[in-house]
Amino acid sequence: PKWEGGHFEGSEYERLETLRLAMNFGADYVDVELE
C-alpha cells in the first residue's frame, strides 16, 4: 500500500482481494503489511 511505500493505489478491500486471489491461484506466499 502507499502508506508503506508501495505502489498499490486501490482501496484496502481491493488490496486484500488481490492477495486472496493470489492465494487461491496457488501463490507460495503473500507479503501482508498491517498498520
Distance, CA of 28 to CA of 35 (rounded, Å)? 23
Give dist(CA 4, CA 34) in Å, integer: 9
Task: Find out whether 1 and 32 touch, Cβ atoms under 8 Å.
Answer: no
- pLDDT at position 5: 79
Question: Can you give the C-alpha Rg of the chain in angstroms?
Answer: 10
Reference 4, options 28, 35, 29; nearest CA is 35
pLDDT at 6: 81
**Looking at the whole model, is its pTM more than 0.85?**
no
Residues 25 and 5: their CA atoms lie apart, in Å, by 26
Per-residue pLDDT tens digits for 1-35? 677 778 888 998 998 899 899 999 999 988 776 77
